[in-house]
Amino acid sequence: MNESVCLFDVFSCFSIVIPVLNEEDNIFSLVREIGKQLQGQRGFEVVVVDDHSTDKTAAVLAQLRKDFSWLRTIRLSMQSGQSAALWYGIWKARYPVIVTMDGDGQNDPMDIGKLLNVYQELSRKSSCCLVNGNRVKRKDSGWRRFSSILANTIRRRLLQDDTPDSGCGIKAFSRETFLSLPSFSHMHRFLPALVRQKGGVVVSVAVRHRARTSGSSHYGTLDRLRAGILDLIGVSWLGKRAIGQGLIEEETNA
């Protein structure tokens, strides 16, 4: 049993939610790697949401289900985007604590235990909280690293969310907190800001990042840049109109 994962005394049940699009090679190895990492762990599930892939992803997942009883798979009827796939998987998740991961294998399952242990400590102080991965040594192309740094810099300054890598796919939070957030396309890139707007607590934790071994990104950089400007304005608007932040009840003699 992996001790980095099995240290929980407050909760023991969690769902790992992974959105995928045309990841037939990467999802096969990722699911098996998660199984090896969590060997002996009880009270967990892995929910893989297939965003209507056109390759053999669905067939690969069907085969994997025969080998792992803790694996659940969902196939969307049409391609809906990463945030929609993530939202649907979390909505269908059975357990109160959620870990999200990208389906390309660049997030390392060895970090699952680290994030859950930090979340456990954080949740004792605030039920509305999020642990966000920070890819300190990214294994991406120079263009992807540049665009990510630029996007994170603009996002931090405008939203003041103080998160160095809000686009990192590996995160831990409660299902209840996530489902209480406003849902929209690309919302997964703004989760730290959205949680803070609710008065929640966000902590960033250094995580590993690995090079892709197969395929290429299907949720493209240009798509993110185009949508990001409008999303950023919208999230900033929400933050300025949030109710409840900083409110303190005045004591009265009833």
DSSP string of 173-233, one letter each residue: EEHHHHHTS---TTGGGGHHHHHHHTT-EEEEEEE-B---SSS--SS-HHHHHHHHHHHHH
Judge whether 50 lies within some domain.
yes
CB-based contact 163:129 (threshold 8 Å): no
Judge whether 154 lies within some domain.
yes
Domain count, the chain: 1
CATH no. for residue 227? 3.90.550.10
Judge whether 7 lies within some domain.
no
| pLDDT one-digit tens code per residue, 205-227 | 999 989 877 655 655 544 555 55
Judge whether 229 lies within some domain.
yes
| pLDDT one-digit tens code per residue, 87-109 | 999 999 999 999 999 999 999 99
Angstrom distance (rounded) from CA 230 to CA 225? 10
Judge whether 5 lies within some domain.
no
Judge whether 2 lies within some domain.
no
| pLDDT one-digit tens code per residue, 8-49 | 444 569 999 999 999 999 999 999 999 999 998 889 999 999
Judge whether 32 lies within some domain.
yes
Q: Residue 144 CB: number of other CB atoms within 10 A?
A: 14
SS (H, E, C) 131-165: EEEEECCCCCCHHHHHHHHHHHHHHHHHHCCCCCC
Q: Average of pLDDT values for 224-251?
A: 52
Helices (H), 38-169: 57-67, 82-92, 112-123, 142-159
Residues spanned by the domain of 120 = 14-240
CB-based contact 24:54 (threshold 8 Å): no
Output the pTM of the full model: 0.80
Judge whether 252 lies within some domain.
no
Query: Which of 239, 232, 155 shows the shortest CA–CA distance to 200?
Result: 239
